[in-house]
Structure 1
């Protein structure tokens, strides 16, 4: 078998994307953003959602026309050349050391509460999380999509319960006034909040596995982004109302604290289950997309190699196991080095912003008519976020520059 199975439906696609966008972000980003910009974070969420809409629509157009497991790297190849394709592909992999450890650590923090005393250790919890990720991925995209749809429903029920029990009214929905000084606070918050919508690029790797990619892939992206945007804004309203933010330690525990305030300590177990499920779902799609990117590169350049093999379930099993080993190693290194969530998130955001920039450049060249102009607007918005991130782009630019240099060096040696 040399092709991925087409098992993803519209509903499971919406479930996968919405849980990926919410996942780890819902349990820390609204509180971090509130700590940076206070009530102004409500404006930042609206601006981010407005900015992400054309980007999401452009990804939808690309995925509709070019469904491929290579994702952005494949789009770049179609628009430019193979050298740039490989650089973009491995740039995506470079997010593992800076983005995955923080996400896995957050998920493992919820899981740790259910582990028996001998195994109740943060690193053991992280390694168990990675093992579960690989197990779910090896089951196939259909099973993974169904699981994430159930998780998505539980997240919506949780946020709805917070709104109801927190007695959120019209006065809580009032937008704060904005002045010139507010712009810098909103921009700083955007630099962190972009993490909440980076799953769109990862989702692009799943286009080849949709039963009807032309119809369902664009609808899944649009619906998933809308659902996630509304959920983030609603959660931010609750966090601001109860002041559930302030320090780095508190920000990552804001939702468990809120649940105890609103529902009492008996609700803690349910929150931990939903928290782990949401974080797990987010990292799950990244694991899927990374393994498919590795497989797509192997299929293109080493079709007879082990990484290009597909299991009977239609899963790139060797590529998945390879990604799993890298995830485990990154988690161990992240645990030993200590994690500053905000710092690591900004570095990861830099990688994704650069990937989005490359995707929008490819879209501008590949698409035509109104879609081309939409890509131009999306490119300008990505540049704006690029500026907001500032120094955080150094990691992504350094890695990308090194990858291009190596590709050029290899090309020159072959030509010689």
Structure 2
């Protein structure tokens, strides 16, 4: 068996993408963005959603035409060469030590509140989170899709209850007047907020497992992005109304704080459960996409290795265990490093935006007509976001250059002509 099982339906695809986009982001990014730009963050959300539309449409076109577990790396190979494909693959893997520890730590923070006092330990909570993660991954995409659809419904219900109980009215929904000073704060907020839409490139790795990728994959991307964007904006309105931002503590506790203020302590356990599984859903898709990317690379370049093997369930078991091992080490390093959450987010965003840029470059070469025009527009927008990241983009550039340049020399040695 060397083919992944086609088990993802349209509904489960929408559930997987929307929960991935909202997962960890919903519990920290709206508060962080509000702390940077205040009420102007509402404008930043609209700008970001408009900017993401051509990116989502381009990924949808690529996934429809080239459904592959290799994702962006495969698109780059189709457009250019295998050297850049491997560089993109390693670039995607490089997000593990900077992006995943923050996400796992946030999920484990919710899990800690559910554990007995004698087991209330940050490291133990992270290990348990990873153990559950590996179990769901090994169960297959069908089970994973069902779980994430349920999680998505729970998140929608939570945000809707905030709007209802919080008595959000037309005054709260009004947009502030833009001025010259607000542009800079909006730009700074966008550099962090892009994290909320860094699941599309991971979702591209799942295209090969759709039952009908040509029809359902593009729809899942578009609907998932719309649902996530609307939920983020609504959540930001509530956070701004009640002032749940402006301190480092609110960066990761704004949602629990709002829940306690609006519902009282009686729903603390329910909020912790929803928070944990929302964060878990986001990490889950990334683990799946990383393992499938490793498997796709092994299938292409080392077909006889154990990493290229699939289980009876159609799961790349050995690749999944390899990714899990790297995640475990990265989380332990992240726990003991005590680095700021925003610092990790900016480094991870640099990687994701560069992956998006490379995908849009591939789309420009592979697609035609209106799709090529959308790819150009998305490329310009991603470049703008990349510039907004400032110094944090250096991490992604160094990683990509480190793996691209040596392979270029190797290719010249193997093929002198």
| Counterpart mapping for 1:175-254 below 5 A | 175-254=175-254
1:173 aligned partner = 173
Q: CA deviation digits over 1:38-80, x for unaligned, max 9?
A: 0000000000000000000000000000000000000000000
1:414 aligned partner = 414
Q: Which range moves more in the overlay, 108-117 or 343-352?
A: 108-117
Distance 1:185 1:226 in 2: 24
Distance 2:228 2:108 in 1: 23
Residue 415 (structure 1) shift:
4.5
Residue 409 (structure 1) shift:
3.4
Q: CA deviation digits over 1:206-238, x for unaligned, max 9?
A: 000000000000000000000000000000000
Residue 363 (structure 1) shift:
0.2
Distance 2:116 2:28 in 1: 26
Check conservation: 1:154, 1:274, Cα contact below 8 A.
yes
2:300 aligned partner = 300
1:30 to 2:30 alignment: yes
1:148 aligned partner = 148
Residue 413 (structure 1) shift:
4.3
2:43 aligned partner = 43
Residue 340 (structure 1) shift:
1.0
Residue 407 (structure 1) shift:
1.2
TM-score (norm 1): 0.99
| Counterpart mapping for 1:393-412 below 5 A | 393-412=393-412
Residue 181 (structure 1) shift:
1.0
Distance 2:47 2:281 in 1: 26
How many residue pairs are counted as aligned between the two chains? 416
| Counterpart mapping for 1:277-288 below 5 A | 277-288=277-288
Q: CA deviation digits over 1:299-328, x for unaligned, max 9?
A: 000001000000000000000000000000
**3-state SS of 1:253 partner:** helix
1:138 to 2:138 alignment: yes
2:86 aligned partner = 86
Moved >4 Å (runs of 4+): none
Check conservation: 1:58, 1:363, Cα contact below 8 A.
yes
Residue 339 (structure 1) shift:
3.3
Distance 1:29 1:108 in 2: 17
Distance 1:166 1:392 in 2: 37
Gaps of 5+ in 2: none
2:324 aligned partner = 324
1:15 to 2:10 alignment: no
Q: Which range moves more in the overlay, 108-117 or 16-25?
A: 108-117
Distance 2:65 2:412 in 1: 33
**3-state SS of 1:396 partner:** helix
TM-score (norm 2): 0.99
Residue 391 (structure 1) shift:
0.7
**3-state SS of 1:101 partner:** helix
Distance 1:173 1:127 in 2: 41
Distance 2:107 2:403 in 1: 31
Distance 1:117 1:255 in 2: 23
| Counterpart mapping for 1:257-276 below 5 A | 257-276=257-276
Gaps of 5+ in 1: none
Distance 1:248 1:149 in 2: 31
1:59 to 2:59 alignment: yes
**3-state SS of 2:389 partner:** helix
Distance 2:117 2:263 in 1: 27
2:96 aligned partner = 96
**3-state SS of 1:34 partner:** helix
**3-state SS of 2:204 partner:** helix
Residue 254 (structure 1) shift:
0.6
Check conservation: 1:102, 1:339, Cα contact below 8 A.
no
1:75 to 2:78 alignment: no
Distance 2:87 2:400 in 1: 7
Q: Which range moves more in the overlay, 7-16 or 128-137?
A: 128-137
Residue 131 (structure 1) shift:
1.0
Check conservation: 1:20, 1:281, Cα contact below 8 A.
yes
Residue 242 (structure 1) shift:
0.0
**3-state SS of 2:400 partner:** helix
Residue 251 (structure 1) shift:
1.8
